[in-house]
Every structure is written in C-alpha cells, then in structure tokens.
C-alpha cells in the first residue's frame, strides 16, 4: 500500500512509519517539525537523544529498509501543498498523527489553547477536504483520544461507534430510535479538538463518502519498538517533562533517578493506557480493515489496553524502586477522581492482544530510563511549582 504518515517524526508516528516500511508498504512521512520547535521553545528535550528526520531516514536506508520519503508540510496551513502531494502519491491510506498532542500545553495559556485548536482542527479538515478535492479514495486513520468522552464517572463501559438511542420525553415516554455517536465531554481544548475531529470524520464519511477511522487512543507508554532498537539513530523520543511526558514514562524516569513519583492531586483519577508496540499493531490492523465503501460512517475504535487508577500505577513504580509516591497540586484542571471503563473490542478485532502494565514491564521501563538518567534535566521532572509541595503520601 502507499501510506502517508502525517506527523511521522513524532513519538507514535516515527515507529509507525518504520513498522509500515518493514512490512513492505511505500511510506511517505509528512511533518512540519512543530513538535521539535515547541520543545526547544519550552526548554524540554526528549530523554533519549533523537536524530533529525534526515539522519533517521539515512540510517534506515543504510540498514536496508524499504525507502521512506519525507515532506516538510504544515498540513494545518498548506492546503494546496497537501493536495499536490496527494495527487503525486495517490495514497491508499493516510495515517494522521499530525496534531499538537499535549493536554497541558492546550490548557496553560490562551496562545497554547488557540494554537492547538487552529492546528488540530485545520490539519484534520485540510486532509479530509484534500481527499475530496483530489478525488482520492484513501482510507484516513486519525489518532483521536479516549478522553473526548470526559473524565466524569459514567457508570458503564464507553462503547465504540454509533449507538441506537431513544429520547425519554418529559412524561417518561420513549421516543423513536435513531443512531448517534456517543456524547462528548471534553475537559481541555486538546480534547475539544479531538471531539471536533471526530465529528469532522463523521461528516466527511456521511457527506463525501470518505472512508474514515477514528482511533480513540489512551495514554501511550513505552520506549522502543523492534525497529527503533536497530540503531541509535532510529531511536524514538521519550518525553518525561510536565508538558509532554506521558505518565508512565515520567514515573519510570523518576523511579530510575530515585526521585519522588509525582501524583497529581488525589491520584484517584482513572485513565486508559496502551503500549507503543500495540499502537503500531492497531495501525497495521486498521489499515487492513477500512470501513466499507458504502458505509458512510466513521469507524470508531477505543484504542486502549486497560484502564488504571493513577495511585495504583504510582504504587507499582514505588514498589519496584527506591522512590516514594508524593502528591502534588495538579497543574491540570480535571476532575479529582473518576472511574473509567471502555470497550476495546476493536483492538482485538485488529488482531492485537495488548500488553498490560505488569511488574516485569515496569522493571524494563525503569531500566530503560536508567540507561539515559544522566541526560535528564532535573528542572523538567516536576511542574514548576511542584518542589514546594512534595509531600510523601501517608
């Protein structure tokens, strides 16, 4: 297949591009390197040094990998450039990772929030519209978020895809049945963009017959994949800072350094997780399972392996290291506690039997982080105000 990987220089996109090339697909990476620039502006670096995209591709080439091409395009800004690239490549599929993905970045300032909304919404809309404009029948696979449904306790498993619903009228009578996507309840501007993307995909599927899949992904953890291990120049990024670090990777570095494992707020928040290898497995599965041409609906998959409470996760890391768990004021405005359950039948239908968090996996992650511990910047381990509030949990 000819596959365009949008955001193919990022944490999920880069190992995906390598996996797809290894499987023999013709891969074209599109990225505008905004993630690298935002990191530089904030003074936060990946723990693992990462090569430039050109160096990465050169290394892949030297190792005999199927060639991958790269194109520097801002997909949120350059509609014409996307259209001409799509016309040149005639892709069978687009895998769309190309968004601003930090929740705190979207919450902490108006400029960060507005950039996130502009970038993410226009990126997705431009890609969808470009498929229409160029009359390209490609399957678009978008990386969404399981957080679009909010972090209130719902009391049931979040389903995947369209639901049959009936309205209860004021007298308690049930109205006629119709089909609807599950309601959204975004808690950040980042999640707002993912909810709007989801609707955009549904709209273009219904009105223009675009074959679209939205992977409502949980927090990704893990460092290496089979391909990134092959050469240091192929290494993937590993973020631990309060803006871009995902919670397991951050806990792993804190544990590797023997520093406090920082739980935000009560730690009674429940979140969904998936390992980076399983992200790749799901993308491969999604590419093989596009929606039917006459379906006119977005295919929705909850791309998660499991849901876990943050306190339970933190305790696992504390048990496997010399670190203690501390609670710090949450830099995020989210509910203090919630239960979360979501169906993940789609992941299994993609043929993925997902890895679960386990003591052995945590040992491996801590060991990995320990290998780079001397490169960690202690100023980026906790949110700025945090050191004052580092109180061990009793």
Ligand X SMILES: NC(=O)c1ccc[n+]([C@@H]2O[C@H](COP(=O)([O-])OP(=O)(O)OC[C@H]3O[C@@H](n4cnc5c(N)ncnc54)[C@H](O)[C@@H]3O)[C@@H](O)[C@H]2O)c1
Binding site for ligand X (CB under 6 A): 7, 9-13, 30-35, 74-76, 97-101, 119, 123, 143, 145, 217, 219-220, 246
Minimum CB–partner distance for residue 176 and ligand X (Å) = 35
Please name the residues in contact with 356: beta carbons below 8 A apart, sequence gap of 6 or more: 305, 306
Phi, psi of 69 (to 5 degrees): -100, 160
Minimum CB–partner distance for residue 12 and ligand X (Å) = 3
Which of 80, 179 has the CB closer to ligand X? 80
Which of 11, 317 has the CB closer to ligand X? 11
Scan for tokens 């690298």, then name that residue.
36
Scan for tokens 């494992």, then name that residue.
261
3-state SS, 194-243, equals HHHHHHHHHHHHHHHCCCEEEEEECEEECCCCCCHHHCHHHCCCCCCCCC
Which of 99, 227 has the CB closer to ligand X? 99
Minimum CB–partner distance for residue 303 and ligand X (Å) = 8
Which of 10, 65 has the CB closer to ligand X? 10
Minimum CB–partner distance for residue 172 and ligand X (Å) = 39
| Residue nearest to ligand X as judged by C-beta position | 10
Q: What number of helices (H) and strands (E) belong to the chain? A: 12, 15
Report which of 160, 155, 144 is spatially closest to residue 192, judged by C-alpha positions.
Answer: 144
Which of 146, 255 has the CB closer to ligand X? 146
Residues 265, 262: Cα–Cα separation, whole Å = 9
Minimum CB–partner distance for residue 98 and ligand X (Å) = 4
Minimum CB–partner distance for residue 174 and ligand X (Å) = 36
Which of 94, 391 has the CB closer to ligand X? 94
Which of 276, 381 has the CB closer to ligand X? 276
Phi, psi of 260 (to 5 degrees): -55, 140
Q: Environment class of residue 40 by beta-carbon count within 10 Å: exposed (0-12), middle (13-18) or buried (19+)?
A: exposed
Q: Environment class of residue 199 by beta-carbon count within 10 Å: exposed (0-12), middle (13-18) or buried (19+)?
A: middle
Which of 9, 160 has the CB closer to ligand X? 9
Residues 129, 21: Cα–Cα separation, whole Å = 26
Please report, for residues 5, 35, 36, 372, the alpha-carbon distance to residue 39 in angstroms, rounded to integers and kept in the order given.
Answer: 21, 6, 5, 18
Cα four-point dihedral sign 266, 278, 214, 189: positive
Residues 367, 166: Cα–Cα separation, whole Å = 52
Minimum CB–partner distance for residue 39 and ligand X (Å) = 9
Which of 111, 394 has the CB closer to ligand X? 111
Minimum CB–partner distance for residue 91 and ligand X (Å) = 15
SS3 call for 323: coil
Minimum CB–partner distance for residue 252 and ligand X (Å) = 14
């Amino acid at each position: 297949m000819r596959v365009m990987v949008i955001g193919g220089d990022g944490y999920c996109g880069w190992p995906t591009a390598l996996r797809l090339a290894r499987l023999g697909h013709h891969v074209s990476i599109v990225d505008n390197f905004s993630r690298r620039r935002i990191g530089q502006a904030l003074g936060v670096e990946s723990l693992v040094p990462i090569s430039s995209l050109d160096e990465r591709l050169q290394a892949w080439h030297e190792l005999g990998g199927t060639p991958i091409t790269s194109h520097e395009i801002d997909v949120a800004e350059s509609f014409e450039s996307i259209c001409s690239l799509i016309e040149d490549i005639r892709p069978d599929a687009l895998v769309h990772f190309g968004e601003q993905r930090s929740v705190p970045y979207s919450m902490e300032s108006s400029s960060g929030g507005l950039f996130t909304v502009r970038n993410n919404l226009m990126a997705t809309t431009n890609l969808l519209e470009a498929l229409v404009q160029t009359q390209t029948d490609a399957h678009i696979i978008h990386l969404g978020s399981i957080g679009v449904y909010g972090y209130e306790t719902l009391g049931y498993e979040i389903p995947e895809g369209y639901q049959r619903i009936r309205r209860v009228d004021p007298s308690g009578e049930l109205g006629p049945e119709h089909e609807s996507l599950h309601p959204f309840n975004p808690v950040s501007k980042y999640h707002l963009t993912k909810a709007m993307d989801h609707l955009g995909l549904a709209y273009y599927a219904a009105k223009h017959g675009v074959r679209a899949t939205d992977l409502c992904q949980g927090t990704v953890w893990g460092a290496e994949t089979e391909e990134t291990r092959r050469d240091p120049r192929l290494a993937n990024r590993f973020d631990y800072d309060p803006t871009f670090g995902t919670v397991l990777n951050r806990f792993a570095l804190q544990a590797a350094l023997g520093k406090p494992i920082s739980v935000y707020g009560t730690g009674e928040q429940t979140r969904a997780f998936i390992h980076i290898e399983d992200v790749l497995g799901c993308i491969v599965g999604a590419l093989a399972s596009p929606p039917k041409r006459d379906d006119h609906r977005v295919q929705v998959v909850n791309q998660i392996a499991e849901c876990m409470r943050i306190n339970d996760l933190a305790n696992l890391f504390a048990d496997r290291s010399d670190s203690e768990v501390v609670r710090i004021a949450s830099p995020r405005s989210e509910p203090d506690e919630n239960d979360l359950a979501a169906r993940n039948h789609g992941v299994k239908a993609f043929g993925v039997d997902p890895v679960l968090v386990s003591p052995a996996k945590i040992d491996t992650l801590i060991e990995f982080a320990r290998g780079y511990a001397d490169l960690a910047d202690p100023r980026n381990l906790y949110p700025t105000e945090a050191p004052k509030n580092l109180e061990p949990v009793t």
